[in-house]
Amino acid sequence: MKFCSECASPVSLSIPAGDNRPRYVCGNCGTIHYQNPKMVLGSIPVWERDGELKVLLCKRAIEPRYGYWTLPAGFMENNETTGEAAIRETQEEAGANIKLGNLFSLLNVARVHQVHMFYLAELLDLDFAPGEESLDVRLFTEQEIPWNDLAFPTIRTTLELFFADRVKLREGGSYGVHTQDITRAMRADDEPT
């Protein structure tokens, strides 16, 4: 941040009185510009028929991680709920109509100032198609998941947790709500996973 959004004067980093960490403070009007983590909302769209389960993934048409596979997800907007954001992102990126289920994973990615949340979701039909930000949208069985070509550690973690819960489901359990802190590099190509 270089300039104040209130008065367009230059800002500088300093610790305001009574605070304990550096903030961007305007030298002219004194506004303190607090910066807080961003929320990324997505879904795990599932199509299940005749005992076979498939998960919908999108191939990214944008950087970062162009060409890698992801669950539909994106930044939450103002004036929407977490559930609305997950439904909107699934519609925008995959053109997919879903019925949203429970929250499934909440992943803190503190090093990039983000919190990622994924909801369970049921695909209502097969009328999906790539949106502006996707090259392709496809259904994958567990065996077909492109584990080496997933876009982000949060996607891998969520899918791993999801298929682990599927095993528990067969044994009479239910889906959990999972909270994890992701300390690995956010971009999978920074660091082999």
User: Which residues of this chain interact with Zn ion, rule CB under 5 A?
Assistant: 4, 6-7, 9, 26, 28-29, 31
Closest CA to 138 of 72, 187, 77: 72
Angle 176-178-182 from CA coordinates, rounded to 5°? 160
Is residue 153 reached through a cis peptide bond, with omega within 30 degrees of 0 on the bond before it? no
Nearer to Zn ion, 22 or 64 (CB): 22
Is the Cβ of residue 33 or residue 184 nearer to Zn ion in the bound state?
Answer: 33
CB of 2 to Zn ion, least distance (A): 12
Closest distance of CB 38 from Zn ion, Å: 23
By C-beta, is 27 or 176 nearer to Zn ion? 27
First to last CA, the chain: 33
Beta bridge partners of 69: 59, 150
Q: What letter represents residue 83's amino acid?
A: G
CA count, 13 A, side-chain hemisphere, 54 = 14
Residue with smaller CB distance to Zn ion, 9 or 179: 9
Q: Which backbone phi and psi does 41 adopt, to 5 degrees?
A: -115, 140
Smallest distance, Zn ion to C-beta of residue 160, A? 46
Q: Which is nearer to Zn ion, 6 or 191 (CB)?
A: 6
Q: Closest distance between Zn ion and the C-beta of residue 58, in Å?
A: 40
Whole-angstrom distance, CA of residue 91 vs CA of residue 5 = 32
CB of 113 to Zn ion, least distance (A): 23
